[in-house]
Amino acid sequence: MSGRRTRRSPTGAAPGFDLGRRWYTCGVTGRIVIVDPRPRTPTGRYPAKAVIGHPTTVSADIFRDGHDVLAARVGWRPEGESKWRYAPMADAGNDRWTATVEPTSMGRHEVRIEAWTDRFATWRRDVMVKQAAGQDISVELEEGARLLDRRAGDVPTSDRRPLAQAAVALRSRPDGGGLVEALHPNLAAVLATVPDPVDLTRADPIPLWVDRERAVFSAWYELFPRSEGGLRATADHGVPRAAAMGFDVLYLPPIHPVGASHRKGPNNTLHAGPDDPGSPWAIGNAAGGHTAIEPSLGTIDDFEYLVQAAREHDMEIALDYALQCSPDHPWVKEHPEWFHHRPDGSIKYAENPPKKYQDIYPVNFWPEGEGQREALWDACRDILDHWIGHGVRIFRVDNPHTKPLAFWEWVIPAVQRDHPDVLFLAEAFTRPKVMAALAEVGFTQSYTYFTWRTTKWELRNYVEELAHGPLADYMRPNFWPNTPDILAHPLRNGGPAAFRQRLVLAATLVPSYGIYGGYELLENVPASEANEEYLFSEKYEVKHRRWDVPESLAPLVTRLNEIRRHHPAFAELSNVRFHGTFNEHMLAYSRRSADGSDTVLVVVNIDPFAVHEDTVVLDLEALGLPAHRPFTAYDELSGAVYTWQGSSAYVRLDPSTAAHVFSLRQDVAVP
């Protein structure tokens, strides 16, 4: 994106810029160049993402010919408002300029970068050099006075008097005695913040979507209401259990009526017994479709009771948004054109070869017939509106990559225009570019490849890509070590130590993470060596669990969520920094809050089978710590306190311990 000049003169002249109060048309680039702005999505067509209460860094490359001093600022405003708020930009080196903005309202915003030549700062720099060299500066003094005269018309009225006084001083002392007043830093600071219309250049506005806090920082817990005994039992037992562990989002798989046709039995078998509940993702029967509730779970009143119970525990309900149907869904009879038909006239069921889902019909999102696509998409939006009306503000979207990108590009902004607090989590276990595109068009968060990243270098490279690469502007990761579909390799074979390690990594590497209920009970029996699903999967049967077993990881889960809430550094993504380790099984990384008040260091032994020790090479600058003074490292998990000094720290971790989560403090008394 190149800079553009101010688009119209005060009298409505052709596009151009004011040079000495005359207007000249110019090309796209112009005198001052503004390129590579961030935050920004790849196309710039969709908004990057920000959060209320979280500073957002805006940056761009800004330069011009020659050696004149530049000034720049960033403006932002909610879309539709006329008033801009501004923050000055600073040159961070190599022509990269940065500033911090902090929007105060949700919804779509505009961000605009402006730059101009700071002629007074240029004059000030040059005249100081010439004076120091003993040169005649009488002409320069008049030049400075004229600059101040001209700029007096651009600054606020309250700042004009100091400019006039400085101009008089320059003219009254041709020997240079008036420089003291003209060179005062306060005067330069005032002029640096006021654009100079001579070559004021504005980049095209960047769209920015501002979410609420939970969009970036959340801890999710997934459970099946039917295994709890229904919606009301979930409210009475599941909600308090999840809240006690410190979770703030309770995610429910589909709670809609389950189809009877081709209902699956245990372990995805083709023949269900009379008491088999079937897959909740086979949505719809005579009781209704996506806006109805499975009768065995309860009623809409029970659901509202659940939503209220979650609120009373400072939690939210996230509902599954799965756009697919069982053969018994009302849409199949009412709108057969909304499905894919085979040559023999039958409707095509879902397949992910070699897997077959005879109990599920995929929806054809591009049906033939006038108005059919519009009618289908409106019906899909109506589902969201229905549940929003019953208190749901978070949706976990099932397989969004199997629906057209154009649908999400339309439906997410359509919903958020009326309800900017609604969040969407993409279950996008798909190709990287598709996953990124879904995030770009509007998904609030996304599942990631964390589930399959296991080695030190895989984890480090992947997190750095998410936190510091272009994806950081618009894709928010949500790390899940397991799901009802995925029993990842480390959990199968690593025993309790692997569960601890993967839990710590998920909870501390990124701001949002989740676990599927049963994780804390160390459930890890796979369907087979080749199948990454669970044996006796809860997707096809009701689970009756004992939650109070001694080996439960619930205490560790609870402590980690307490640590996350206590340390604001964990609420940010861009602050993660990795530190050097020599042992391939030891991973060390830190997080430091934007204001520098909170610093944490995490060290994880990622080998579940052996004790490992190592010397961590600390990046003291990233940690905000001095090299010459001692500091404390308080282990938030064990309660142990260590005194360190310098950039080397020895650590030793048993698999049963798994990790250190250190709070670093500069409160050690110097001897």
Task: Report the catalytic residues.
Answer: 398, 427
Q: Are 61 and 96 in contact (CB under 8 A)?
A: yes
Amino acid occupying residue 369? G
Q: Dihedral of CA 59/61/64/68: which sign?
A: positive
Q: Taking a C-beta distance cutoff of 8 angstroms, is the pair 276, 270 a contact?
A: no
Beta strands 206-211 and 107-117 are: antiparallel
442, 416 Cβ separation under 8 angstroms: yes
User: Any idea what DSSP says for residue 469?
Assistant: S
Contacts of 94 (CB under 8 A, 6+ apart): none
E strands within 44-154? 48-51, 56-64, 70-78, 85-88, 90-91, 96-101, 107-117
Place of tokens 């007074």: 120
DSSP E strand stretches across 154-240: 201-203, 206-211, 218-222
| Nearby residues of 256 by Cβ (< 8 Å), 6 or more positions away | 280, 283, 284, 288, 289, 290, 291, 292, 293, 294
Cα separations in angstroms, 17 against 12, 20, 120, 148, 196: 12, 10, 19, 21, 11
Distance from C-alpha of 108 to C-alpha of 405, rounded to nearest angstrom: 20
Residue entry with tokens 């810029």: 17
Q: In whole angstroms, give the CA distance from residue 602 to residue 121.
A: 45
Contacts of 110 (CB under 8 A, 6+ apart): 76, 77, 78, 79, 205, 206, 207, 208
Q: Angle at CA 601, nearest 5°, toward 586 and 655?
A: 35
Q: How far is the C-alpha of 546 from the C-alpha of 521, rounded, in Å?
A: 9
Q: How many residues does the chain have?
A: 671
| Degrees, nearest 5: CA angle 485-314-209 | 75
DSSP 3-state assignment of 423? strand
H or E segment to which residue 462 belongs: helix 456-468
With beta carbons less than 8 A apart as the criterion, state whether 238 and 223 touch.
yes
CA distance 339 to 600: 52
Of residues 524, 487, 547, the one with CA closest to residue 228: 547
Pair 438, 429: CB distance under 8 Å: no
Residue partners of 518: CB distance under 8 A and separation at least 6: 538, 543, 545
